[in-house]
Amino acid sequence: MFKYQVISKTRNKLGLSQSDLSRLTGIRVDMLSRLENGKQINPTLRTMELLAHALQISVAELIDERTITP
């Protein structure tokens, strides 16, 4: 499952607004808001890659490994 809390926590730590993150990723602000609030819980791999790159974290940090089934 997607760890949506990581986005806002890391974004704030880096001093970025949602608009800043939108400019860095190309992801619309309304989509970022839905992702950060857990209303969009199944982002594409590309979306997670864009977020991870902009937030200077790994894609793995956006995934809750406990929810992955073998």
CATH of the domain at 11: 1.10.260.40
Strand partners, 63: 2
Q: Is 29 domain-assigned? A: yes
Total number of domains constituting the chain: 1
pLDDT at 46 (0 to 100): 97
Distance from the Cα of residue 44 to its chain's centroid: 11
Residue keyed to tokens 């607004």: 17
Q: Is 68 domain-assigned? A: no
Question: 22-51: per-residue pLDDT in tens?
Answer: 999 999 999 999 999 999 988 999 999 999
pLDDT at 41 (0 to 100): 85
Distance from C-alpha of 36 to C-alpha of 4, rounded to nearest angstrom: 5
Q: Which domain holds residue 17?
A: 5-63
Q: Please, what sign has the CA dihedral across residues 36, 66, 54, 50?
A: negative
Q: Is 53 domain-assigned? A: yes
Q: Is 14 domain-assigned? A: yes
Question: 5-29: per-residue pLDDT in tens?
Answer: 999 999 999 999 999 999 999 999 9
Q: Is 54 domain-assigned? A: yes
Task: Please tell me whether the overall predicted TM-score, pTM, comes out greater than 0.75 for this model.
Answer: yes
